[in-house]
Amino acid sequence: MEEIERLEIDPDRFEIGRTIASIDESTTVQIGEGKDRLLVRASPRREGCGECTFCCTALGINELQKLPMTRCRHVAGKGCGIYPNRPKPCQEYACGWLLGNFDARFRPDRVGASVTFYVAPDFGFYAVVVVNSAKVHHKRLRQLLDRLFSQLPEIRVIYDDKHGSIYRHGQPPQRFRMMERPPGDYENALYLMLD
């Protein structure tokens, strides 16, 4: 049976502000209890993405000079045309569905949104939900956000790499818009807070 840790952030073990790819591969952190718990781990729980290529559009990748929310030129048919030689960020990325947190209805291409877990120094893990407005299934997105918010102190929702909101327990949402990235930076998100 898999060893599961309780949520404790140790800066010596986790890179703050990094995705969960910075977690040791053998570590699984459980957030919450019962059927709504979230498991955060570095290695995927599922064998593969199936026909889902949502991250191939949603993510920005420096090595490919690909901006977020633009379809990757290497998507071929039902997958990646350069899969064996894909860049390191593509190899390391694991969405919340791939980690085994959500059933088939919540595969990113079926919701129009993907979840990525990050580490924060003050409060543990938070989630970033990237939404493609043209493909979003609103009811499933609402269910996904409710599940995340029941277990995490913060959720950041980004729509189309243009705008979004930060949700924290007991506080009104904080709206933001995405700022232009510096030349050559296709990955990092820069927010301009509006509220």
pLDDT tens per residue across span 176-187: 999 988 888 888
DSSP letter string over 92-132?
A: H---TTTTT-S-GGGSHHHHTEEEEEEEETTTEEEEEEEE-
Q: What does DSSP say about strands 5-6 and 191-193: parallel, antiparallel, or unpaired? A: unpaired
pTM higher than 0.85, yes or no? no
Q: What is the mean pLDDT of the chain?
A: 81
pLDDT reading at 172 higher than 60: yes
In tens, the pLDDT along 62-121 reads 999 999 999 999 998 788 889 889 998 888 888 999 888 899 999 999 999 999 988 776
∠ CA(36), CA(41), CA(43), 5° rounding?
130
Position 169 scores a pLDDT of 87
Position 47 scores a pLDDT of 73
Amino acid at 131: V
What are residue 128's DSSP bridge partners?
116, 156
pLDDT reading at 15 higher than 80: no
Cα–Cα distance, 143 to 107 (Å, whole number): 13
